[in-house]
A and B are shown apart, each in its own frame.
Chain A
């Protein structure tokens, strides 16, 4: 009887802890059907996030995704820790237009692709060039488009960073870049080679116009 009493108290305590961290966490964990020890692993990660004042909504979304994907608790916790590190890194940065919900969501996606040092360089450049909100969105969308073309993340960073640095992030520049990827078969160049060509051209200080003109030759 005494053992049952202790266990019940512990369960109530742990449930209270879970509710204390985030009201959505407990239902997810209970519906998942995890063992108490497994639940504890997940809860402790969220506790850690709470103590570091990390925004937990992105982590909850990730948790739901992991559950849908059928990942193990071990893999889920790795993913959560990675996300927490990304969000922690972001919280230390001065994010351009962080009050805009869409830009903030894009920024979190970007943080999955770039290192925090890279993000810092990009944000600084955006601030120096005083890019308006719509251009920041367009440049982030360009990064996501390049990611959809399976361009390596370090090349994507270099391209978007150099476009901002060289002052070539107008709608016409980004549209022309996208067109070049769509027409890459006609230029007889693979998408990864095209990304390297654009990156190297911009790195050398050439205009995107002349880099893309050379491609057509």
Chain B
């Protein structure tokens, strides 16, 4: 009953968003597909999936100052479980001049059976001359586990900053760095709580040869440092680094291709090469997404996402998962 109340409140806010704002957007869709490995593990249990997606966003008018609010609901059902992700957020955007942008956001996320969390963020973006854009952001994320057995109750702080430099009309280089702290307040360890830190650097290039094509290639290095080295893996989610120091080298590629006005393809691929440090072990995680968008007209859009993910692990369970579907959206 508590869940239904939450859903009703969220749908109420969705309906309200375009009303209070000067401009409102609503995206509503329904879809179906197939998942070759519903639990993402070595058992390879497959099944059909169905989903419903709703997203509403509202913004007030004004070049200098804007308020925005939004809400999104993603529901997915398969023969084994039903999942609901819902989020609601609001914020303000301040642009004192065309070169500077301040953005403050506060949001609430609810992931059924898993956790609920707050997201508070501050972003500053500034153009330094015509070719360089600098950004700096701070995020605070308290996450509260809903299952009682999960270890995901955590207070997280993160700071990120970087530069994007346009070398030519069609070529930019990107460089970013970040630092984060995660304190797992429900996981006591030696009289204290478990404290993890991570830092990361990323560099990449962005090519825009024409309006229909974009290619972004990036390399990143992330170091995870844990206050414990007990070599334990909790789950196949991101918990690999929970009790282990690790370093991850990632390569990522994103490519976009538009064919005419109606059809666009987006390909995203990422490989993480993970090395656990205390006891040297190697793992590799893969992710590849091909998303095809077809505009039937400016209001009706069809999305065909195909996702391949997998893990080849020495510690985690190895698995491969293919998920494909077709969604139809109406854009208001």
| A172 B25 Cβ-Cβ under 8 A | no
| B99 A196 Cβ-Cβ under 8 A | no
Identify which of residues 155-186 in chain A touch chain B, using a CB-to-CB cut-off of 8 Å: 172-173, 175-176, 179, 182-183, 185-186
B295 contact set on A, CB distance < 8 A: 183, 186
Stretch from A65-73, A89-97, A117-125, A199-207 forming part of the interface with B: A199-207
Given contacts A182-B298, A190-B23, 9 further A-B contacts (CB under 8 A): A176-B211, A183-B295, A186-B295, A186-B298, A186-B301, A188-B27, A209-B169, A209-B208, A212-B211
A176 contact set on B, CB distance < 8 A: 211
Say whether A193 faces chain B, with CB atoms less than 8 Å apart: yes
Q: How many residues of A contact B (CB 8 A)?
A: 25
Which residues of B are interface residues toward A (Cβ below 8 A)? 23, 25, 27, 57, 59, 61, 63, 98-99, 127, 130-131, 166, 169-170, 172, 206, 208, 210-211, 214, 256, 261, 295, 298-299, 301, 331-332
Q: Give the Cβ gap from A24 to chain B, nearest Cβ, in Å.
A: 43
Q: Which of A183, A190, A207 contacts B298 (CB 8 A)?
A: A183
A134 contact set on B, CB distance < 8 A: none
| A196 B63 Cβ-Cβ under 8 A | yes
Pairs A–B under 8 Å by Cβ, sample size 17: A175-B211, A179-B261, A183-B298, A185-B298, A185-B331, A186-B295, A186-B301, A186-B331, A190-B23, A207-B166, A207-B170, A207-B208, A209-B208, A209-B211, A210-B166, A210-B208, A212-B211
Q: Taking A186-B301, A206-B130, A212-B211 as contacts, is the C-beta distance between A193 and B23 under 8 angstroms?
A: yes
A190 contact set on B, CB distance < 8 A: 23, 59
Across the two chains, which residue of chain A brings its CB closest to B170? A209
Q: Taking A200-B98, A203-B98, A204-B130 as contacts, is the C-beta distance between A193 and B59 under 8 angstroms?
A: yes
Q: Which of B59, B214, B301 contacts A213 (CB 8 A)?
A: B214
CA distance A210 to B298 in the complex (A): 22
Q: Which of A183, A193, A204, A213 contacts B98 (CB 8 A)?
A: A204
Interface centre among B23, B61, B131, B256 (most CB of A within 10 A): B23
CA distance A188 to B331 in the complex (A): 9
| CB-based closest 3 A-B pairs | A205-B130, A176-B211, A207-B169
B127 contact set on A, CB distance < 8 A: 204
| B130 A185 Cβ-Cβ under 8 A | no
Q: Give the Cβ gap from B263 to chain A, nearest Cβ, in Å.
A: 12
CA distance A7 to B210 in the complex (A): 73
Across the two chains, which residue of chain B brings its CB closest to A185? B331
Q: Taking A179-B261, A193-B59, A206-B130 as contacts, is the C-beta distance between A185 and B25 under 8 angstroms?
A: yes
Q: Which of A175, A206, A216 contacts B166 (CB 8 A)?
A: A206
Q: Give the Cβ gap from B304 to chain A, nearest Cβ, in Å.
A: 15
A192 contact set on B, CB distance < 8 A: 61
A204 contact set on B, CB distance < 8 A: 98-99, 127, 130
Across the two chains, which residue of chain A brings its CB closest to B24? A190
A196 contact set on B, CB distance < 8 A: 63
B166 contact set on A, CB distance < 8 A: 206-207, 210
